[in-house]
Amino acid sequence: MRTTGRNLREAAIKAFFFACGIAAVLVLVGVFLTLVATAIPAFREIKIGEFLTKTAWDPTSPEKLEYGILSMLVSTLLVTGGALLLAVPIGIGVAAYLSDVAHWRAREVLKPVVEVLAAIPSVVIGFLGLVLVGPLLAKIFHTGNGLNALNGSLLLAVMALPTIISISEDSLSAVPKAYNEASLALGASRWQTLVRVKLPAGLSGIIAAVMLGLGRAIGETMTVLMATGNARAFPHGLLSSVRTMTAGIAIELGEVPYYTTHYYALFAIGLVLFIMTFAVNLIADIVLHKYQERER
Amino acid sequence: MKKIVIAAIAALALLGSLLPAMPAGKMIQVKGSDTMVNLVQILAEEYMGKTPGAAIAVLGGGSGTGITGLINQTCDIADHSREWKQKEIDQAWEKGVSPRQFVVAVDGLSIIVNEKNPIDQLTMAQVGALYRGEIKNWKTLGLYDKPVSLYGRQSNSGTYVFMQEHVLGNKNYSADMKEMNGNAQIIEGILQDEGAVGYVGVGYLYDENRRIRKGLKVLKISKEPNGRGFLPMDKAAVDSGDYPVSRPLYMSTNGKPKSDVDRFLRWTVGPEGQAVVEREGFFTIGEGKSKAENDKAFK
C-alpha cells in the first residue's frame, strides 16, 4: 500500500515536470508560429528583398510609404556590437579578479554589488544616458549632442556586465582546485595559471555568459529608445543617432492601426529579431558542444 | 515550507483588506497626448480633490496611442493634439465606437532653440525647410556656424503629425531628426545641444516658477518672409490666429459622455477647469466656435 502511494506520487511528480518542460517548448513554438503568421501578410505588399535591403523606413509618410529595415538592422548590430566590445573584456576581467585575485572579504562585498546592478530598471539607465552620458559624450567628441549609438553601447554594456561577470565568475570558481594546484606546482605563475589553465577550463561558462549578455543587449528596448536619438537615417558610425529594431517596434506598435501592412511589417521586424537571437543561441550551443567534446 | 505558506496567506489577507479602501465606482481611464499629459494629470487631481468618490487615471503615450485606445475600448477618454484621421474614424465605426470630440484647451506649438543660438525669428517656410532637412547649417539663416540638429517626436505623437501637415507641407521629415519620447526629452536635448531646434507644447516652456526655462529660447514665428513674428506665449496672437502654429487640444469619448465622464468633461471645459488650463501655460477655449462645438458634442 505504501509503495503504491509512493509510486503514484513519483508518477505525478514526473508528469508535472514533463508538463513544465513541454510547456516551455510549446510557448516557444507558439510565439514563433504567431510571429510568422502575423509577419507573412506584410509581404503581400512589400517585396522581401526590399524589406531587408532598403534603408528608408517611413510607414506613415504622406509622400511614399517606405518599409526598408536595413538602417535599423545595422543600428542594432552597431549598438550591440559596441556594447559587447566594452562589456566582454571588462566582464571577464572583473570575473577573474573576483575569483582569483580579490581577498575573500572584497569578493563578499563586490559580488552582491555587481548583482544589484542588474536590478536597476532599464528606464532609469536610459534616463542616465539622456542626462549624464549624453552631455559627457557631446563634450568629449564635440558633437553638440550625445544621443548616438555610442551612448547606447555604453549603457547596454553596463546592463550586460552583471550577467557576464556573475556567470563567468561562477564558472571560474567551478574549475576544480586540482587544476590550479597542478599548474602552480609545475612552476607556472598565478597569471599563467589564470590565463592558460583556468580561463580555458571555464570557457564554456564564459561563452554562455557572453551569449546571455548579448541576448540582453540585443533585445533591450527602453534604454536605447531613450539614449540613441532614434534618427532613421543609415548610421555613419558610433557617433550617429540611430534607431534600433526594438526601438522601432516600441515606437510604432502603440498607435499602428491593426491588421494593416504597417502592423504586419512591425511583426516582420520582430521575426527578424527573433531569428537573430535564435541564431546567436544556436551558435553558442554548437561552440559549447564542440568545446565539451574536446575536453572529454 | 509551512512558514512560507503562512506568510503567503497573510500577505493575501493584507492585500484583501486593502482592496475595499480603494475608491468605489469605476475608474475613468484617460490615455493619449504627451503634450497634454501633465495638464490632464493636474486637471484630474484638482477634480478628484473637489469631487469625493471620483477616480481618474491619466496615461500618456501619444495622441495616436490614445485614439487607438479609444477605438479598442481600453480607455474612456482619449487626449489628442491632432484631429482624427479618416482611417481612424472608419476603424472606430467598424468596431462600433462613435467618437465625439471636445476642445479642452488651445496650444501655441512652440519652436525652440538653445539660448546660444542668435536667431530670434523664423518664417513658417524656414521651419518647414529645417525639418525637411533642406537647411543643414544655421549659417544659411544667419551668422551662426553650427550644424542643425533636429529634435522631434515619434510618429505616434499628435504633434509630429500636426507639424508634418501644417508646417512641413505634408512632406517627409528629415531622416536625421532625432525622435524623442516626449516634450520633456526634447527640452532636455535642446538645453544641451547648441545647434538644436525642437517643437513642444507651450505648457512645457515654463519652469516651476512660471518663467520660461533657463537655457531655452522661444522663436517668433511669422507667416510671410519679412512679416511680423509672434511668440506662442502671446495669448492675443494665438487667439487671433496671428501666431501661425496654434492648435486645439482635444478629448474624445465613445458616444455621448456618460455620468462620471460627462461630469469630468463639463468641469474641464467650465470655468474651474479652464483656470487650470491657463495656470499650466496653455490657453482657454474662449466663448467662440470651440464652445459651441463642445455644447453640441455634449448633447
Say what the pLDDT of residue B1 is. Answer: 45
Average pLDDT over residues A214-243: 91
| % of chain A with per-residue pLDDT over 90 | 60
Say what the pLDDT of residue A91 is. Answer: 95
Same fold, B2-106+249-298 and B110-240: yes
Return mean pLDDT, chain A. 90
Partner residue opposite B192 with nearest CB, options A145, A230, A243: A145
Where do the domains of chain B lie?
Answer: 2-106+249-298, 110-240
Are A255 and B65 within 8 A, CB to CB? yes
Q: What is the pLDDT of residues A237-290, one digit of tens each?
A: 899 999 999 999 998 887 787 788 999 999 999 999 999 888 888 877 787 777
Say what the pLDDT of residue B25 is. Answer: 56
Give how far the C-alpha of residue A209 lies from the chain's centroid of Cα atoms, to the nearest Å.
10
- The pTM for the full model equals 0.83
What ipTM, to 2 d.p.? 0.80
Partner residue opposite A135 with nearest CB, options B171, B179, B192: B192
Say what the pLDDT of residue B17 is. Answer: 47
Does domain B110-240 bear CATH number 3.40.50.2000?
Answer: no
pLDDT under 50: residue ranges of chain B: 1, 16-24
Measure in Å the smallest separation between the Cα of A266 and chain B Cα atoms: 14
Are A144 and B149 within 8 A, CB to CB? yes
What residues pair up with B200 in beta bridges, in sequence order?
Answer: B110
Average pLDDT over residues A87-111: 92
Optimal mutation site among A137, A139, A145, A255, interface B, most CBs of chain B within 10 A: A255
Are B61 and A254 within 8 A, CB to CB? yes
Does domain B2-106+249-298 bear CATH number 3.90.850.10?
Answer: no
Average pLDDT over residues A201-211: 87
Average pLDDT over residues A87-96: 94
Partner residue opposite A231 with nearest CB, options B62, B165, B175: B175
Q: What is the pLDDT of residues A56-80, one digit of tens each?
A: 999 988 889 999 999 999 999 999 9
The reply to whether B175 touches chain A by the CB within 8 Å rule is: yes
- A2 pLDDT higher than 90: no
Say what the pLDDT of residue B3 is. Answer: 54
